[in-house]
Amino acid sequence: MLSSLQKYLLVPKLMRLSSNAPRDPHTAWDQYWGDIRSTGQVDDVLWDSGDDHEMLGYLEHLKRQMDPELPVVDVGCGSGSFSRRLAAYFPHVLGVDVSAQAIALARSESEGLEGISFATVDMSAPGAAQSVRTALAAAGIAGEANIFIRGVLHVLKPASRAALAEQLLPLVGRRGRVFLAETDFRGNAVEYVCHLGATRSFIPGPLAHAIRALPMPGRFGPVQRLRAFPESRWDLVEDGPAVIEARPLTSAEPEHIPGYFSVLQAR
């Protein structure tokens, strides 16, 4: 455990590392996924533990709360690792991401799999719901859908979170539900990177890559959920604590990040 002084001394190092990250978040995400694609280092994605354990923990909620006959849209799917896991439980999974590089990677990682497709969509932009409908129609699917979101809302600014939630309303309709699981770390950015193994002399490679390339994440818990999914538009079905499992950094085991999950339906 680092002392307060040691954490404070880490600040200039973090500022130096992050100083060249693109200011535009969409550019940042696309460059990040382009690097992962070109180096083939899918195992080095910070938030991807590489195993099913976290997903298996969500299954009980997904099976109890979601209509298994509806397709699932995996919003902000990245490399599609959760999309592929979801495909075992729903008739079709559409993974969407703002980054074309992420979608190209997700497609190549999913080659040969049935019941899964991908599309590049900025889910915070006006017209996103229509783009999702068009992508579902291309897979022969019409009507309502369930939504799965993992680790996306905490990287968005509050206005983008609310805009994204608004785009989900016409997609879920009356039968679909939203399941979200997000990082809800109660501490500042320095405490967060220390939690993931950063010290003054060493920052684990996948963490350093994320700091160098991406916007600093925030947290997403009950307060942020209520702002993004207001009671006038959404009913909360269930919520509680979650554990987001990240790539092993400090030992051979996945890192555990305190998180929050909720299930929502349109009001």
Ligand X SMILES: C[S@@+](CC[C@H](N)C(=O)[O-])C[C@H]1O[C@@H](n2cnc3c(N)ncnc32)[C@H](O)[C@@H]1O
Position 220 contacts ligand X (CB under 6 A): no
Measured from the CB atom, the residue of 87 and 152 that comes closer to ligand X is 152
Position 76 contacts ligand X (CB under 6 A): yes
**By the 8 A CB rule, do 101 and 30 touch?**
yes
Nearest to 96 by CA among 111, 114, 116, 115: 116
Which residue in 21, 66, 73, 77 binds ligand X (CB under 6 A)?
Answer: 77
Report d(CA 139, CA 117) in Å as an integer: 7
Position 10 contacts ligand X (CB under 6 A): no
Measured from the CB atom, the residue of 82 and 260 that comes closer to ligand X is 82
Position 224 contacts ligand X (CB under 6 A): no
At closest approach, how far in Å is the CB of 135 from ligand X?
13
Measured from the CB atom, the residue of 29 and 234 that comes closer to ligand X is 29
At closest approach, how far in Å is the CB of 186 from ligand X?
19
Position 72 contacts ligand X (CB under 6 A): no
Residue 4 CA, distance from chain mean position? 30
Which residue in 7, 58, 61, 82 binds ligand X (CB under 6 A)?
Answer: 82
Measured from the CB atom, the residue of 48 and 255 that comes closer to ligand X is 48
- Binding segment toward ligand X, per CB under 6 A, in 6-14, 149-157, 187-195, 246-254: 149-157
Position 206 contacts ligand X (CB under 6 A): no
At closest approach, how far in Å is the CB of 47 from ligand X?
5
Position 47 contacts ligand X (CB under 6 A): yes
DSSP result, the chain: ---HHHHHHHHHHHHHHHTTS-SSHHHHHHHHHHHHHHHT-GGG-TT--SSSHHHHHHHHHHHHHS-TTS-EEEET-TTSHHHHHHTTTSS-EEEEES-HHHHHHHHHHTTT-SSEEEEE--TTSTTHHHHHHHHHHHTT--S--EEEEES-GGGS-HHHHHHHHHHHHHHHTTT--EEEEEE---S-HHHHHHHTT--SS---HHHHHHHHHSPPP---SHHHHHHHS-TTTEEEEEEEEEEEEE---SSSSPEEEEEEEEEEEE-
At closest approach, how far in Å is the CB of 5 from ligand X?
31
Position 78 contacts ligand X (CB under 6 A): yes
For ligand X, the binding residues in 83-102 under the rule CB under 6 A are 97-99, 102
At closest approach, how far in Å is the CB of 55 from ligand X?
10
**By the 8 A CB rule, do 174 and 253 touch?**
no
Position 266 contacts ligand X (CB under 6 A): no
Q: Which residues bind ligand X (CB under 6 A)?
A: 29, 47-48, 76-78, 81-82, 97-99, 102, 122-124, 150-152, 155-156
